[in-house]
Amino acid sequence: MVDSLLHFFLFASAVLMALIVCIKSTKYRNKNKKRFKLPPGRKGWPFVGETFPYLKPHHATTMGDFMENHISRFGKIYRSNLFGEPTIVSADAGLNRYILQNEGKLFECSYPKSIGGILGKWSMLVLVGDMHRQMRMISLNFMSHAKLRSHLLRDVELHTLSVLDSWSVRRTFSAQEEAKKFTFNLMAKHIMSMGPGEVETEQLKREYITFMKGVVSAPINLPWTAYWKALRSRSSILRVIERKMEERIKVMNCEGIYGDGDEDDLLYWVLKRSNLSTEQILDLILSLLFAGHETSSVAIALSIYFLGGCPEAVRQLRVEHLEIASNKKQKGDVGLNWDDYKQMEFTHCVINETLRLGNVVRFIHRKALRDIQYKGYDIPCGWKVLPVFTAVHLDESIYKDPQQFNPWRWQKNSSSAAAMSGNFVPFGGGPRLCAGSELAKLEMAVFVHHLVLKYDWELAEPDHPFAFPFVDFPKGLPIRVHVIT
């Protein structure tokens, strides 16, 4: 599967890269006429630069051969030609922090146009400036701490139990697909009040699977390519969202725009409380489904994978969660509450280590808004800049034995905890810090709580997380579970 995906990606991307670089080659040559002191590096092949080897699939718990070789040869800051543009690649923790902290001042979000083409021009991933801030504030309001406590925690637990209870009669299945089912159903419920198992929800889920394959494929809009199919699925998904919008508007018209109707789902809140256009709302809902579903499900699958290879961590988790469950039973409480969540200290160590070693978001796209100097090097205005989080999270000068799954490194009494935390950016940082970061950690914690209390598990066959560069399990992470009696 890995080879076939790679061959398809290389073939399809060659066409795209050639077109892009032909258009931008003049600009690239003009930039290089200036007397910049650029970091060391190389341009790679004509037209395509070094894009192919940079994106070559590799084990997700490594940086990949390309990054390792270039860091060894050129250092943690080097130049290349990637995605059809001259690029500064950063594996330097300090530069990465500098880029995140100066978002909108010295650097700006700069994803390939194909991403905006499929997620929409109003997607939070590609927006910049005031419009991004407005969209982000809407998302933060919906996923605030108050909402997490009052609504989301309860539903996260209900959706977790719904998925885990179904495992007792199956025993062997794809953990990755189960994690996706969990996160998709949760997001569909809270964004558009769509219930799990409903015909419309299942149809939307199928369309979303096709859509996701296109988002991470080469953007070749030819019949029957993954990108072409994804654009068709995008249209189908938007039709569902638009139907839900029409339903909400009818309700609002009945109760009056300032009535006290139910605002438990995001779509209703946006229609009632914002001045966004229909197109903006559609792209916002689409991008939140994408972000909230895909990244959280991968993180949960990674936690199942890492814990499956670390029995001692499972034992310590089980002690922690048995104590929480026992205390609740003595009090006669039903369901987890916020205090229970805050008591999951070792669980949060496991979450941090899963995100550090698994690196769901491996790098981000930025560009320099003006000529910048850093550590004696120039970053020319207009150049693409890629802060690579993976390289920092696997830096042995920051994390001891960085490729080992060691959640104990995050315990409060760890001597290196402060240095690690300061260089730990699984959700990005600065003004573009992921709006759903707290929800993602809550989902992982609640899922792990019930998982270790209900089951032991093991891999049904060998599988490993790969970076394509999106993180995926080629076999779907097949596991075999045993009910704890």
* Number of alpha carbons in the 13 Å side-chain half-sphere of residue 257: 6
Is residue 59 within a helix (H) or strand (E), and if so which, with residue range? strand 58-59
Q: Is 254 annotated as a binding residue?
A: no
Task: Tell which residue, 57, 49, 35, 53, has the closest CA to residue 80.
Answer: 49
d(CA 432, CA 412): 27
User: Could you tell me the two tokens for 370?
Assistant: 């003006």
- Coil, strand, or helix at residue 109? strand
User: Across the chain, which distance is largest between two alpha carbons, in Å?
Assistant: 74
Q: Do the beta carbons of residue 115 and residue 121 sit within 8 Å?
A: no
Q: Exposed, middle or buried, 205 (CB in 10 Å: 0-12/13-18/19+)?
A: middle
Site of tokens 């989301």:
152
Spatial CB neighbours of 153, under 8 Å, sequence gap ≥ 6: 336, 337, 338, 341, 442, 446
**Ramachandran quadrant class, 57 (left: phi over 0; alpha: psi -120 to 50; beta: rest):** beta
d(CA 190, CA 196): 11
d(CA 314, CA 407): 11
Spatial CB neighbours of 216, under 8 Å, sequence gap ≥ 6: 468, 470
Task: Tell which residue, 293, 301, 330, has the closest CA to residue 472.
Answer: 301
d(CA 303, CA 314): 11
CA 276-281-286 angle, to 5 degrees, is 155
Distance spanning both ends of the chain, measured CA to CA: 38
Q: What are phi and psi of 422, to 5 degrees?
A: -70, -20
Question: What is the residue-wise DSSP string for 392-460?
Answer: HHT-TTTSSSTTS--GGGGSTT-TTHHHHHHT--TT--GGG--TTHHHHHHHHHHHHHHHHHHEEEEES
Annotated binding site for heme: 434
Annotated binding site: 434
